[in-house]
Structure 1
């Protein structure tokens, strides 16, 4: 969890899973799960694979390394599991389409609310975020990765972000770089443009979590809520939600209940 953040006052995820016909999601709620791969026993992977779709299982086989295949399976199992945990139904029943920039979109029932979901994964960790009708993006990064932070920042960060990074102690360079990176990734994923959106066209303040935009990018900072989390000592996570009254948002987050996920594949 984010060290400086108080626990949510409405821990609605603790009241799940819902029964069929029920829901725990409202337009003012965001549900967030993460799952560490080292918590999954070798004997449980086959069961977890049964939670995802046949297409997702086929796609996972294209990865060369087992760790990449497993984190892909974990991310998509967590996504389907969170949907069923919050909305009811079988995880395998959810269907997705792909947007213009490759962002998966949940196909919601025509007579129901438009559910928005986003997933992210990195070495050892997968995460998923869910809300109703609002643009949402999530990004997770591994703190042990190798990166030439200053050199890369000059290519993709805004000027003030580069100054913040340059002033950071050497021991915190990577953490500072990835704090900016996860926020930027979460935002561009939320708006559905991915890295086709120039990352230097907007900037963040890590203390206030406020976003500011250059003139060439039309967006309103007041409509966005950002959060940062540290689900474990080796990972950083950021969340972006577009909401006209984002101060009303309740964001509940927790480690995915592995027993529940495995039961869905059994």
Structure 2
């Protein structure tokens, strides 16, 4: 086991993030946001509740940090990074996968480079059957300069975040993708609430798709009472949704 496994977590206060229970049933509490300093990066626990943990981190790290993180990636992940056209996208991909490995390694008690991932038919990553704690489930999402990792024990999970930026085709996308009830509640919103209302519903749809391991173009066969749906703000200017299977 190499010396970089299980890094010590130093918790400090991190303002401006947290969750609420307006869109789901993860509990009535508001969750304090603290940060865990791992090396030279900040990983922020957004919430913890009944085996669910939600962590956020910034992607635009210094080049030296990207190089340090990059050594943990698999050959396949390095090839994927090299295939991206923009340098910014390559760096953010490396940061996302490196920090994901770091988070998983801290839970598994192994080095980040020893984390083995496999992929479902729709590309959803999961731990290899050779890994300890195979019942650890996770989901990852990134938007802009931010990424979020959701962790759960035995329960299927999905997470999605979006930067609150204009979406010119929002009404057309909503009409095409939202359910009748979601679309009706969306169109009832006033102009000042329309953008955030669209993004909250979109992240919910994406998170459900990830939890089920299917693409957005496929029918969503899920029973709502079997899932907890939770809205959160990873940092100002972003919205997100995490979906976790109920027992």
Give the structure-2-normalised TM-score.
0.77
Aligned residues of 2:128 and 2:134 also touching (Cα < 8 A):
no
Q: Which residue does 1:229 correspond to in 2?
A: 232
Q: Which residue does 2:223 correspond to in 1?
A: 220
Q: Which whole-Å deviations, capped at 9, do the CAs of 1:212-241 have from their partners, x for residues lacking one?
A: xxxxx3x33222111111112221111111
Q: 1:45 to 1:133 in 2, by over 3 A?
A: same
Unaligned runs of at least 5 residues, structure 2: 1-16, 22-28, 39-48
Unaligned runs of at least 5 residues, structure 1: 17-26, 202-216, 245-266
d(CA) in 2 for partners of 1:242, 1:147 = 33
Aligned residues of 1:78 and 1:128 also touching (Cα < 8 A):
no
Offset, 1:52: 2.3
Offset, 1:83: 0.8
- Give the structure with the larger helix fraction: 1
d(CA) in 2 for partners of 1:77, 1:220 = 34
Aligned-residue CA RMSD (Å)? 2.9
d(CA) in 2 for partners of 1:87, 1:117 = 13
Offset, 1:113: 4.1
Q: Which whole-Å deviations, capped at 9, do the CAs of 1:115-134 have from their partners, x for residues lacking one?
A: 21111111111111112221
Offset, 1:66: 2.1
d(CA) in 1 for partners of 2:134, 2:124 = 19
Q: Which residue does 2:58 correspond to in 1?
A: 36
Bigger RCO (CA 8 Å, 6+ sep): 1
SS of the aligned residue for 1:118 comes to strand
d(CA) in 1 for partners of 2:90, 2:176 = 30
Give the structure-1-normalised TM-score.
0.72
Equivalent residues, number:
216
